[in-house]
């Protein structure tokens, strides 16, 4: 039962809210400042009702930063891959902490977060990065709500930024051949060759081992990925089940791999390595790629666009999107269809032409048969 009393000119109440599971002591909530006894009684009755219905939450006075650090220590560190954890922690410290960190989490309103997003976009950060921050803030609030630090999750009322579709630059067949012809004179040739002929990601190529290559059956087994964690190179398993896959090649591609192995000055388990056998640093690859682009009269693209070039050329050749999806390691074929929707109109036109030619050809055959029968 609530205890109501008058303090000076205002009224207050004290209500038992249960037993502290850690200390075993009785917990109480005291609130003051009510102008009348009736107001205090009504407020006390509301709290008592919440306690009875197990809906009562003792809102924390901790800052957002305190809860965020707890989230990283308790949840993120055990749930995320090491590289993802380090990236998210860095994003929090560099972008979120300075804006929301000192505020008490109970005082943060949806508008605070929405204005934060608008500010980041005004600073010309990409909407996809802002959405990454949104997902992180949402995870922290979800954690706080789950463990009763807050009564309501305000992120349910915050609109996530909608990422703009990334402009995808790909090469024509002529540009591919031009680039590879120039790249042949470099030790990194096999990297670009594999990216274009297999659609493998940069980290998958840099982490590829000779034992992952099945020369007898012309296949590559993608089983690991080289990533940067705090500027340190580490080998990790692929993020998804789909990323762990087999990629079929022809004897021509296998021959290129054999030629590369013969040329290597230092024998290591890694297909791609430095002259002393260490893993090839992704940043050094970027520098080399930009050097080659400057030497070629081709469209300036990102390294990742070599993967897009592989997929686009295969789809334009009429390859089944399901096969392309499997080669790329997409978890669903719908991802492939959405990513390369720009190719679909051309594919539809080509299919319509083939079908039309097929039907017209059949009609011609039938007409000739009819004429022959009449004779």
Question: Both tokens of residue 182?
Answer: 């120039």
As separate numbers, helices (DSSP H) first and strands (DSSP E) second, the chain gives 16, 8
Sole residue written with tokens 């009393």: 5
List per-residue pLDDT tens for the chain, 375 residues long. 688 889 889 988 888 877 765 567 777 778 888 999 999 989 888 878 776 665 656 667 889 999 999 999 999 999 998 889 999 999 999 999 999 999 999 999 999 999 999 999 888 888 889 999 999 999 999 999 988 888 889 999 999 888 776 678 999 999 999 999 999 999 999 999 999 999 999 999 999 999 999 999 999 999 999 998 878 899 998 878 889 999 999 999 999 999 999 988 778 999 999 988 899 999 999 999 999 999 998 999 999 999 999 999 999 988 999 999 999 999 899 989 888 887 767 667 777 777 788 887 765 545 555 555 655
pTM over 0.75: no
- List residues bridging with 205 in a β-sheet: none
Q: d(Cα 226, Cα 235) in Å, to the nearest integer?
A: 5
Question: Both tokens of residue 116?
Answer: 């934060």
Is residue 17 a contact partner of residue 28, using CB atoms and an 8 Å limit? yes
For 78, other C-beta atoms within 10 Å of its C-beta total 8
64-157: what CATH class? mainly alpha
The architecture of the domain spanning 173-339 is Orthogonal Bundle (1.10)
Q: What's the distance, CA 162 to chain centroid?
A: 14
SS3 124: coil
The C-alpha angle 49, 53, 56, rounded to 5 degrees, equals 75
Break the chain into its structural domains and give their ranges: 3-52, 64-157, 173-339, 345-375
């Amino acid at each position: 039962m609530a205890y109501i009393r008058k303090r000076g000119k205002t009224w207050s109440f004290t209500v038992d809210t249960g037993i502290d599971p850690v200390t075993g002591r009785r917990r109480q909530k005291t609130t003051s400042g009510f102008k009348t006894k009736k107001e205090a009684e009504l407020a006390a009755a509301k709290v008592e009702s919440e306690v009875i219905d197990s809906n009562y939450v003792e809102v924390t006075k901790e800052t957002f930063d305190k809860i965020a650090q707890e989230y990283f220590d308790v949840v993120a560190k055990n749930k995320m891959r090491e590289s993802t954890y380090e990236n998210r922690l860095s994003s929090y410290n560099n972008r979120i902490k300075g804006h929301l960190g000192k505020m008490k989490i109970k005082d943060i309103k949806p508008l605070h977060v929405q204005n934060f997003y608008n500010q980041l976009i005004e600073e010309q950060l990409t909407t996809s990065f802002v959405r990454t921050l949104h997902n992180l803030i949402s995870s922290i609030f979800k954690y706080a709500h789950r463990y009763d630090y807050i009564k309501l999750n305000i992120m349910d009322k915050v609109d996530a930024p909608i990422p703009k579709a990334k402009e995808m630059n790909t090469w024509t067949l002529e540009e591919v051949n031009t680039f590879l012809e120039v790249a042949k004179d470099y030790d990194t040739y096999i990297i670009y060759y594999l990216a274009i002929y297999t659609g493998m990601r940069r980290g998958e190529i840099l982490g590829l081992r000779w034992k992952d290559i099945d020369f007898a059956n012309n296949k590559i087994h993608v089983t690991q990925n080289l990533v940067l964690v705090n500027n340190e190179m580490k080998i990790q398993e692929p993020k998804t089940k789909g990323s762990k896959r087999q990629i079929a090649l022809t004897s021509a591609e296998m021959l290129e791999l054999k030629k590369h192995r013969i040329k290597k000055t230092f024998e290591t388990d890694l297909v791609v390595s430095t002259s002393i056998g260490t893993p090839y640093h992704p940043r050094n690859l970027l520098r080399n790629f930009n050097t080659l682009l400057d030497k070629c009269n081709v469209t300036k693209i990102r390294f990742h666009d070599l993967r897009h070039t592989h997929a686009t050329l295969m789809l334009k050749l009429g390859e089944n999107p399901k096969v392309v999806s499997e080669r790329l390691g997409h978890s669903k074929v719908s991802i492939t269809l959405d990513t390369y929707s720009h190719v679909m109109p051309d594919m539809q036109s080509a299919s319509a032409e083939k079908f039309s030619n097929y039907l017209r050809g059949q009609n011609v055959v039938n007409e000739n048969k009819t004429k022959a029968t009449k004779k």
